[in-house]
Amino acid sequence: MDETRARSDAILVGARTVRRDNPRLIVHSPERQDRRAASGLTRSPWKVTVTATGDLDPHAAFFTEGDTTKLVYCPRSEASRIRGRLGGAATVVALGDVVTMAELLCDLADRGVRRLMVEGGGTMLTQFLAADLVDELDLAVAPFFVGDRRAPRFVADAVFPWTSERRATLAEVRSIGDVVLMRYALSDRFAAEPDAPPVDDAPHAGAADRS
């Protein structure tokens, strides 16, 4: 997870994840941070969220942690209200009557973002996947059960491009401790990357640690 973050230009989560989890969304490993800095990048990727309500706390870790650019996308009609609420904590970007993921990606590309990591939640994943905008899907399976039907799902109701007739391409299976990582190629832009340079991963190995 940390390596994937370190290789991204920006990380996106939905506003509900910002509210519920208060994630920091930074690269944890100092070595990976150094590697980014040596390449002239910010030590952690840009942070991106999407909201219509603007119900975001400017003191949340999303805004206060990490010396990097923070972008908040919202419908045009809500932009001035949300700018007032967030002050200088982030750049608020107004995008149409409703925010579509295609327009959001175009705007990010205009700002120089080439590789966006969408961390969740399900509402965001559903929109990117259903719109066929995803090049790579990384799924990690951990060896325990969540016996609660109210637990968040990976995706919500939608029509997805991948069906039993059009299957996604399994590109890699890797075990990481007791977790299995599966990487799927979802577009021709998927690029199987060489292994990352060795990094002392010990303090950052928890796959569930996404703070």
Ligand X SMILES: NC(=O)c1ccc[n+]([C@@H]2O[C@H](COP(=O)([O-])OP(=O)(O)OC[C@H]3O[C@@H](n4cnc5c(N)ncnc54)[C@H](OP(=O)(O)O)[C@@H]3O)[C@@H](O)[C@H]2O)c1
Which of 52, 105, 171, 199 touches ligand X by CB under 6 A? 52
Whole-angstrom distance, CA of residue 117 vs CA of residue 44: 12
Tell me the closest approach of the beta carbon of residue 48 to ligand X, in angstroms.
11
Does residue 50 belong to the site contacting ligand X (CB under 6 A)? yes
- CB nearer to ligand X: give 13 or 35: 13
Which of 152, 171, 180, 181 touches ligand X by CB under 6 A? 152
Size of residue set near ligand X by CB under 6 A: 23
Identify whether the C-beta of residue 94 lies closer than 8 Å to the C-beta of residue 79: yes
Q: Which residues of 75-92 are buried (b: 16+ CB within 10 A; e: fewer)?
A: beebbeebbebbeebbeb
Binding mask 102-141 for ligand X (x = CB under 6 A): -----------------xxxxxx--x--------------
Which token pair is 172?
């890699």
Does residue 182 belong to the site contacting ligand X (CB under 6 A)? no
Whole-angstrom distance, CA of residue 99 vs CA of residue 101: 7
